[in-house]
């Protein structure tokens, strides 16, 4: 197994796990973004979910000026 692949796997899993540890306002907002895609959560690719999470974090940082 490639060390790069292993590191990417760990990074992705950590980012997805952090969603569960986020506050209810964040998860509700991210859930709304997911619903707007028209796909069920389990139908999203990992890349799509990561992109939605990244984009929502950027939006919150722009609007509220805080790191999530």
How does pLDDT run across 16-59, given as a tens digit for each residue?
Answer: 999 999 999 999 999 999 999 999 999 999 999 999 999 999 99
Distance CA 14, CA 62 (A): 23
Label residue 65 by pLDDT band (50, 70, 90): confident
* pLDDT score for 1: 61
CA dihedral defined by 68, 63, 32, 16, rounded to 10 degrees?
Answer: -20
Tell me the C-alpha to C-alpha distance, in Å, between residue 9 and each of 3, 4, 42. 10, 9, 18
What's the whole-model pTM score? 0.86
Per domain, the residue ranges of the chain are 3-64
């Amino acid at each position: 197994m490639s060390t790069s692949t292993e590191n990417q796997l760990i990074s992705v899993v950590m980012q997805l796990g952090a969603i569960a540890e986020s506050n209810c306002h964040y998860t509700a907002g991210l859930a709304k973004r997911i619903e707007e895609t028209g796909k069920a959560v389990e139908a999203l690719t990992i890349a799509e979910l990561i992109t939605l999470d990244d984009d929502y974090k950027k939006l919150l940082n722009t609007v509220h000026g805080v790191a999530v």
